[in-house]
Amino acid sequence: MSILENVKMNQAAVHLLEEWDPFHLGPDHYDTETADVVAALQGIDDPSTLAKVVQETYEHSFEQWIPFEDCVAISYKLIAIKFEAKCII
């Protein structure tokens, strides 16, 4: 993936995760979790694997449970962003 593709993917993934707001705290409360998930997205192409990372990351930080199905749903969207970024250029 080129640098430009990677930047576009990261920006889109960050925006999506900010809008997701699983604990209804507002988009400014997830900077660390967003960075961790976007970093994991670089090397993960499987939605279930990424969903586990999402769930563990957010639950560890906030000590609140997130249904796995919610994590899978956001993971599919993140992986779609990743593959779309690969096809843009």
d(CA 55, CA 67): 8
Average pLDDT on 14-41 reads: 94
* pLDDT band, residue 5 (cuts 50/70/90): confident
* Residue 68 and residue 55 in contact, taking contact as beta carbons nearer than 8 Å: yes
d(CA 26, CA 24): 6
Average pLDDT on 43-59 reads: 97
Residues 6 or more apart whose CB falls under 8 angstroms from that of 40 comprise 50, 53, 57
d(CA 1, CA 5): 6
Domains and CATH numbers, the chain: 3-87 (1.10.340.20)
What pLDDT sits at residue 63?
Answer: 96
What pLDDT sits at residue 89?
Answer: 46
